[in-house]
């Protein structure tokens, strides 16, 4: 029997950056950005879960925390690619 739920694990940096991005997406016209209305429910659920899990999203130094997380996740300045957010991840699976 398959597990009825999917569990996604994120580092605190990944969660913070994703939460910020989802918040900005939700403030736009989702209908224009996301063509399939069925996608909205899981996007809202993920955003809500992140909001409840991240204690620092209302901290006075939120902007600094977010920027630091973005720097840690981004590619190294002298590296270009191959490090940072994609390091150690599998390549996308084909059809």
40-81 tens-digit pLDDT: 889 889 999 999 999 888 899 999 999 999 999 998 777 655
Does residue 88 lie within any of the structural domains? no
- Alpha-carbon span 20 to 57, nearest angstrom: 9
Task: Judge whether 73 and 85 are in contact, CB under 8 Å.
Answer: yes
pLDDT > 90: percent of the chain? 40
- Whether residue 32 is predicted with pLDDT greater than 70 in this model: the reply is yes
- Alpha-carbon span 70 to 72, nearest angstrom: 5
Does residue 83 lie within any of the structural domains? no
Does residue 94 lie within any of the structural domains? no
Q: Which two tokens stand for residue 25?
A: 């997406």
Segments forming the whole domain that contains residue 48: 12-74
When divided into structural domains, the chain yields a total of 1
Closest CA to 33 of 41, 22, 25: 25
CA angle in degrees (0–180, nearest 5) for 9-11-16: 110
């Amino acid at each position: 029997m398959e597990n009825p739920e999917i569990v996604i694990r994120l580092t605190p940096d990944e969660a913070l950056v994703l939460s910020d991005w989802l918040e900005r997406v939700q403030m736009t016209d989702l209908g224009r950005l996301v063509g399939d209305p069925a996608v909205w429910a899981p996007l809202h659920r993920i955003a809500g879960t992140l909001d409840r899990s991240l204690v620092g999203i209302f901290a006075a130094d939120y902007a600094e925390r977010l920027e630091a997380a973005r720097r840690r996740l981004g590619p190294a300045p002298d590296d270009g690619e191959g490090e940072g957010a994609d390091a150690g991840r599998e390549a996308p699976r084909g059809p």
